[in-house]
């Protein structure tokens, strides 16, 4: 059997670990594995490379993806779906493992409905996919962000400064919330609860009145003001219609400095938290997902996605997985309120 594997969308820690596990398990069945380069772009261009376990065995702790990734959306290319289907057959592939977030898996579901034998594996640092408790890449991003905020806290204390730390995560506040709670940030602002600047300024002033001169505020890039008509972004949009978010931290920082005269700095963590080595949790999850994806193919369970339920690896349909985005649970929002100080 000849199977393909692709990574689509933004990379995250653990992608190589999935590839490694897929190759390991597939080779045990005597199958051949082909890496499709640059996500869906690789199937539009027939850009594939044969993989052997010898090539991937040492990659469990290596960040990024040797397969490369892109945000190519076949539906935005003339006859895109048809070309992908034709190339898949011409390449002699018999099954495809798609490792991606809601965009990549959404395309996978469309292609599955057209007859392509596909299984999905959920990845994204944003952790915003429904039907799985965690996506891999999230825990690594949270840990990187937590360490960065820990560092910013010490310099904030030394200079009696206010620090606003902007963190990626798109429309969901998972990374900001977990990293903010784990690093003891004073206030965390997330997309799920629009805020007003007066409240933030009052919060900082109140801390000063209590003698707390340093304040660390974590803000998720998708957070917005109650009265804002759009999220802060640079105006560009990708092939899936997502704006490139960013700028809310700067807006908050400038306003705090203007209204309070407190020395304020803004730090945008950006892609630093997405790159680098996966945590043990993400290495474990990626490995289990990779092995489970091969089993799905073996059992002919196409149109399904691997998922984590509690401590167990489960499967869900791609249809269910891409039906809606997963935002922060009410329990986490409540935790944010309780630990704010």
10 binds ligand F6P (CB under 6 A): yes
Considering just the CA atoms, what is the radius of gyration of the chain in Å? 21
Rank residues 168 and 218 by Cβ distance to ligand F6P and give the closer one: 168
* Least gap, CB of 42 to ligand F6P (angstroms): 17
125 binds ligand F6P (CB under 6 A): yes
Rank residues 7 and 264 by Cβ distance to ligand F6P and give the closer one: 7
Q: Per DSSP, what are the bridge partners of residue 118? A: 96
**What is the C-alpha separation between 17 and 67, in angstroms, rounded?**
12
Coil, strand, or helix at residue 56?
helix
245 binds ligand F6P (CB under 6 A): yes
Among 84, 168, 218, 269, binds ligand F6P (CB under 6 A): 168
Rank residues 48 and 145 by Cβ distance to ligand F6P and give the closer one: 145
Contact of 302 with 117, CB cutoff 8 Å = yes
Q: For 248, how many CA atoms within 13 A lie in the half-sphere containing its CB?
A: 34
Stretch that binds ligand F6P, among 26-34, 120-128, 194-202, 250-258 (CB under 6 A): 120-128
Stretch that binds ligand F6P, among 22-30, 165-173, 192-200, 314-322 (CB under 6 A): 165-173
**What is the C-alpha separation between 176 and 187, in angstroms, rounded?**
10
* Least gap, CB of 274 to ligand F6P (angstroms): 5
Contact of 178 with 302, CB cutoff 8 Å = no
Catalytic residue among 11, 102, 103, 126: 126
Among 63, 169, 191, 303, binds ligand F6P (CB under 6 A): 169
Question: Could you confirm whether 11 is annotated as catalytic?
Answer: no
Regarding beta strands 264-268 and 162-167, do their DSSP bridges make them parallel or antiparallel, or are they unpaired? Answer: parallel
Rank residues 168 and 297 by Cβ distance to ligand F6P and give the closer one: 168
Residue 303: which of 98, 71, 17, 34 has the closest Cα? 98
Rank residues 123 and 207 by Cβ distance to ligand F6P and give the closer one: 123
100-128 b/e with 16+ CB inside 10 Å = b? Answer: bbbbbbbbbbbbbeeebbbbbbbbbbbbb
What residues make contact with ligand F6P under the rule CB under 6 A?
Answer: 10, 101, 124-126, 168-170, 221, 245, 274
């Amino acid at each position: 059997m000849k199977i393909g594997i692709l990574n689509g969308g933004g990379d995250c820690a653990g992608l190589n670990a999935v590839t490694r596990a897929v190759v390991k398990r597939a080779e045990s069945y005597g199958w051949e594995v082909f890496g499709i380069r640059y996500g869906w772009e690789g199937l539009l261009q027939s850009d594939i490379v044969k993989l052997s376990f010898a090539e991937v065995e040492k990659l469990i702790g290596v960040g990024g993806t040797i397969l490369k990734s892109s945000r190519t959306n076949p539906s935005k290319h003339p006859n895109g779906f048809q070309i992908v289907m034709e190339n898949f057959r011409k390449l002699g592939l018999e099954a495809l493992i798609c490792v991606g977030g809601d965009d990549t898996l959404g395309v996978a579901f469309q292609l599955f409905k057209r007859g392509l034998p596909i299984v999905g594996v959920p990845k994204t640092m944003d952790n915003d996919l429904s039907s799985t408790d965690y996506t891999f890449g999230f825990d690594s991003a949270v840990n990187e962000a937590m360490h960065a905020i820990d560092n910013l806290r010490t310099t904030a204390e030394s200079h009696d400064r206010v620090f606003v730390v902007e963190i990626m995560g798109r429309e969901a506040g998972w990374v900001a919330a977990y990293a903010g709670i784990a690093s003891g940030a004073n206030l965390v602002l997330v997309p799920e609860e629009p805020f007003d600047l007066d409240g933030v300024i009052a919060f900082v002033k109140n801390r000063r009145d209590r003698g707390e001169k340093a304040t660390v505020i974590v803000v998720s890039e998708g957070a917005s003001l109650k009265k804002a008509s759009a999220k802060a972004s640079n105006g560009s949009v990708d092939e899936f219609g997502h704006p490139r978010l960013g700028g809310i931290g700067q807006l908050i920082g400038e306003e705090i400095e203007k209204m309070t005269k407190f020395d304020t700095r803004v730090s945008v963590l950006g892609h630093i938290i997405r790159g680098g080595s996966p945590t043990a949790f993400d290495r474990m999850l990626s490995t289990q997902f990779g092995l489970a994806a091969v089993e799905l193919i073996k059992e002919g369970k196409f149109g399904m996605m691997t998922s984590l339920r509690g401590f167990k690896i489960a499967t869900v349909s791609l249809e269910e997985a891409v039906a809606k985005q997963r935002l922060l649970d009410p329990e986490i929002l409540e935790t944010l309120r309780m630990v704010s100080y």
